Each structure stands twice: as C-alpha cells, then as structure tokens.
C-alpha cells in the first residue's frame, strides 16, 4: 500500500513542479492533485510551498469523502475543497490542475466562455469551454472553495466533463482536469495556448468566429474515443 502511495506522491509532485517550470503558475499561484480511484485517496500540493522545493513527501494524502489527512505534516492546498468537489462530481477525473496562467486567467477575468475557434482547441475540447457565474456573497462567506467547485459543476448540465475537461471560474482562473494528472497538465497547457490565440485574434480586431462544426468534430474524434487515429496504437 505504501509503495502505491509513494508512486502517486511522486507523480503529483512532478506535475506540480511542471506547472511551475512551464510558467503556468507564477510564484505559488496554482496547484495540482491526483485521485487514486481504487482507494479513494486524494494527493494534493501543500499550501504555499514553492514548486522548485517540492518533494514527493510533501504531497498531502487525504480521504476524498471525509478530507481527513491520511499522510503528511503540511497544510493541504487552500483549493482542496474545489478539487474534492470536482472529483466527486466528475467520476472520470483522475487529475486536476488549477493555474493562474496569464492568458487563461485573463480570459477568466473577461467572464465569458471560450469558443472553439480552430483545430487546436478542437483537438482537446469538444466545444466551448464554459465560464462560471459569479459567486454570491453568501457563497463566498459560507465556504469559498467548496462553492467554487459547485459553480464549476453547474456549468456541466448539458456538457460531458470528459469531453470538455476545463472551466473558467469568473474573475479567478482556470480549473482543468483529465483521467490522470499527466493529461490534466496537457489540457492546462492546451487551454493556455487557446486563450492566447483568442486574445491575439481580439487584439488584431478579428471576429471570434467559431470553427465549422464538422471540422471540430473530426479533430476531436481523431484524438479521442475508441476510433481515434492520432498517435500510436
């Protein structure tokens, strides 16, 4: 059992160091977690620890349902309850990345969904990436991070969170997920690139015209699902 935990701690520590190395989260403005669905154990970055100093032993292990600490002597990320809410609501999520990357955060501060404008977006997200409503003062006062998870899950009434594995929290930043921590990181990188391209289009005065639906569907299916043809078998 401890070997399994050690492996998860190493994976989650690596992903957190990567969000720092890639510039997705300046200072300590972000966090990554992983969930071992077989055991119900959640692995998450400790609060405020610089990415470059992070070791596998620093990763805090908690029970997903109770959020009681199983292993670790550091305070878990302040976004813990948001991560937990998403894992509980999205049963195919096995990794979550939250960043304050420049372009994705700028888009979140616009408080609007990101339309699918090209094939780069369509390769990763099957449609617009939604943006949450604003939290009410009562929600902020009640439990800010749990409420943040709730407003994200509200966006997915008609959307499959496995097909659109990201959302913007209005005036805050992006939360991105995947079936494992590594894919969640890839999706965070892709979302940042898509936001950068959209903002460049806006700066050039170009209309944000959505991609042709047939082309978008082709690109998404080429990389996802049982008939995907992208990559090696």
Q: Is 123 a catalytic residue?
A: yes
Residue that is written with structure tokens 């604003």 in the block: 134
Which of 123, 128, 163, 186 is catalytic? The answer is: 123
Q: Is 230 a catalytic residue?
A: yes
Residue that is written with structure tokens 């699902």 in the block: 225
* Token code pair at residue 34: 């992983």
User: What is d(CA 178, CA 22) in angstroms, rounded to the nearest whole number?
Assistant: 18
Give alpha helix (H) positions in the chain: 2-21, 80-89, 102-110, 119-124, 137-154, 181-203, 213-223
Q: Which residues contact 216 (CB under 8 A, 6 or more apart)?
A: 116, 119, 121, 122, 126, 127, 210
Q: Which residues are catalytic?
A: 123, 230
């Amino acid at each position: 059992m401890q070997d399994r935990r050690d492996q998860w701690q190493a994976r989650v520590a690596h992903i957190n160091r990567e969000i720092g190395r890639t510039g997705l989260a300046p200072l300590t403005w972000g966090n990554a977690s992983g969930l071992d669905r077989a055991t119900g154990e959640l692995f998450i970055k400790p609060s405020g620890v610089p990415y470059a100093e992070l070791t596998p032993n620093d990763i805090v292990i908690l029970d997903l349902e109770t959020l009681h600490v199983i292993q670790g002597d550091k305070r878990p990320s302040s976004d813990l309850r948001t991560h937990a809410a998403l894992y509980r609501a999205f049963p195919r999520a096995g990794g979550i990345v939250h960043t304050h990357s420049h372009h994705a955060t700028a888009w979140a501060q616009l408080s609007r969904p990101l339309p699918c404008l090209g094939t780069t977006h369509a390769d990763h997200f099957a449609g617009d990436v939604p943006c949450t409503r604003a939290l009410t003062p009562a929600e902020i006062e009640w439990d800010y991070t749990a409420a943040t998870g709730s407003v994200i899950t509200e966006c997915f009434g008609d959307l499959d969170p496995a097909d659109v594995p990201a959302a913007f929290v209005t005036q805050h930043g992006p939360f991105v997920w995947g079936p494992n921590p590594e894919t969640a990181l890839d999706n965070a990188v892709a979302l940042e690139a898509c936001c950068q391209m959209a903002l460049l289009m806006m700066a050039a005065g170009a209309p944000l015209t959505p991609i042709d639906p047939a082309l978008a569907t082709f690109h998404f299916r080429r990389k996802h699902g049982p008939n995907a043809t992208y990559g090696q078998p």
